[in-house]
Amino acid sequence: MARTRRPLIAGNWKMNGLRADGLALAKGVADGVKQAGWSDRDVLVCPPATLVLAVAEAVKGSGVLVGGENCHAKANGAHTGEIAAEMLHDCGATYVIVGHSERRADCGETDAIVRAKAEAAWRAGLVPIVCIGETLAEREAGKTLSVLETQLKGSVPAGSTAANLVVAYEPVWAIGTGKTPTTPEVAAAHAHIRKVLGGLTGEAAQFRLLYGGSVKGSNAAELLAAGDVDGALVGGASLKADEFLAIAKAA
């Protein structure tokens, strides 16, 4: 059966890149996407907040989309050091990552906070990419599917549709470690996520589900071919244009 969901390859730059580095990387990705002429997949880069505006201007007209790595739940106010979804939108972003495991761990973000941020993204006209994933201890205890279900039910807002929200599954233990689940394990996790979404929305079959966690050019084709995988949320490999483009090509 032919794939009906449009693949999305998203790069999460994390806390990397000064202006010169970021612009060079953005230009490399933009040039590669333009040269490839893809019309059947979406390519997204999510730079740190300091680079969103410059990167959005650098990739304009290339087809490359731009997103933020995080946003606050409020539109404005006394929240020193935070960035509102409206600010990201104002800089040219169309997506924003919320609930990444590094935010959940480093900043204590709960499912409720993640849900509020996803709703804030909608308020600003952005599509949130809601991240979920289990730790190594949870996987070894056989709790992977229950953890994913709990996080989904707590993090995905009411009113979510395939057009206004993306879900990214990132096993915490696979991020930046070079380790990845087996393809059947990835497929099983994604199938469970889609099943849980079926109880939350009438559009579960249309939702784009991304896999993240040590995705690189050499394993992208296999991971992206797993059942119910509609793209990737790429970390370290998104910092090299050639590597990121190889992953996008695999989609």
User: 214 a known binding residue?
Assistant: yes
Residue of 69, 72, 86, 100 marked catalytic: 100
DSSP assignment of 174-194: GTTTS----HHHHHHHHHHHH
DSSP assignment of 98-109: ES-HHHHHHS--
User: 173 a known binding residue?
Assistant: no
- The CA-atom distances, in angstroms, between 180 and each of 98, 220, 228 are 22, 11, 17
| Tokens 């890149």 sit on residue | 17
C-alpha span between 232 and 43 (Å, rounded):
10
Interacting residues of 175 by C-beta distance below 8 A, sequence separation 6+: 101, 102, 133, 212, 213, 214, 235
User: 14 a known binding residue?
Assistant: yes
The reply to whether 100 belongs to the active site is yes
| Cβ 63 vs Cβ 38: under 8 Å | yes
Residue of 86, 102, 109, 170 marked catalytic: 170
| Cβ 126 vs Cβ 93: under 8 Å | yes
3-class SS letters over 200-212 = CCCCHHHCCEEEE
Q: What single letter denotes the amino acid at residue 102?
A: E
**What φ, ψ does residue 24 adopt, rounded to 5°?**
-65, -40
Distance between first and last Cα of the chain: 16
Q: Give the pair of three-digit tokens for residue 213.
A: 């966690």
The reply to whether 185 belongs to the active site is no
Provide the annotated binding site for substrate: 12-14, 176, 214, 235-236
Query: What residues are labeled active site?
Result: 100, 170
Provide the annotated binding site: 12-14, 176, 214, 235-236
